[in-house]
């Protein structure tokens, strides 16, 4: 699994280039943002940031397994590639 820094994820903060972090995992939601049942606006607002708290507020683990994980592109980690969860 590829590892990214928080600073790298923060670059992807636009509607057409939208990454978020949940539980130390990095998700590319670019293709999902228009289909998100909770709306585009909330995702654009939190683009490039850690959305763990918000995600847990509105979704259960089954949604993460079924809808979230297929969009995972990596984890937050150190420069040496070790995961930092
Ligand atoms: C990996 C990221 C995310 C995925 C895969 C995802 C997926 C989904 C799905 C599948 C639903 C429909 C749930 C249902 O029908 O029961 C939903 C609803 C919703 N999501 Fe997300 N979401 C993500 C991130 C977020 C974030 C970061 C926020 C807020 C900042 C958010 C806010 C909401 C809200 C408000 C709803 C509507 C809840 C409701 O109707 O009760 N989502 N999301």
pLDDT tens sequence across 5-52: 999 999 999 999 999 999 999 999 999 999 999 999 999 999 999 999
- Mean pLDDT calculated for residue range 56-67: 98
Q: What is the ipTM score, two decimals?
A: 0.95
Q: Which residue range(s) make up the domain with 49?
A: 3-76
**Shortest-distance atom of ligand 1 to CA 27:** 1
What total of structural domains would you count in the chain?
Answer: 1
pLDDT, mean of residues 49-66: 98
Looking from the CA of residue 22, the nearest atom of ligand 1 is: 1
Q: Is the pLDDT of residue 80 over 90?
A: no
At residue 56, the 3 state secondary structure works out as helix
Assigned domain for 34 exists: yes
**Any idea which residue has 């057409």 for tokens?**
16
Q: Is the pLDDT of residue 82 over 70?
A: no
Distance 71 CA to ligand 1 centre (A): 14
Domain-embedded: residue 15: yes
Helices (H), 4-50: 6-10, 40-46
Rg (CA), the chain: 12
CATH of the domain at 23: 3.10.120.10
On whether residue 82 sits in a domain, the answer given is no
Residue 81 lies in a domain: no
Interval between CA 60 and ligand 1 midpoint (Å):
9
Q: How far is ligand 1, taken at its centre, from the CA of residue 36, in Å? A: 6
């Amino acid at each position: 699994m590829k590892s990214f820094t928080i600073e790298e994820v923060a670059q992807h903060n636009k509607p057409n280039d939208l990454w978020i972090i949940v539980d130390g995992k990095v998700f590319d939601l670019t293709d999902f943002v228009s289909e998100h049942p909770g709306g585009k606006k909330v995702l654009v607002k939190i683009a490039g940031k850690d959305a763990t708290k918000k995600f847990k507020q509105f979704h259960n683990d089954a949604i993460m397994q079924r809808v979230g994980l297929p969009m995972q592109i990596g984890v937050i980690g150190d420069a040496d590639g070790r995961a930092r969860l």
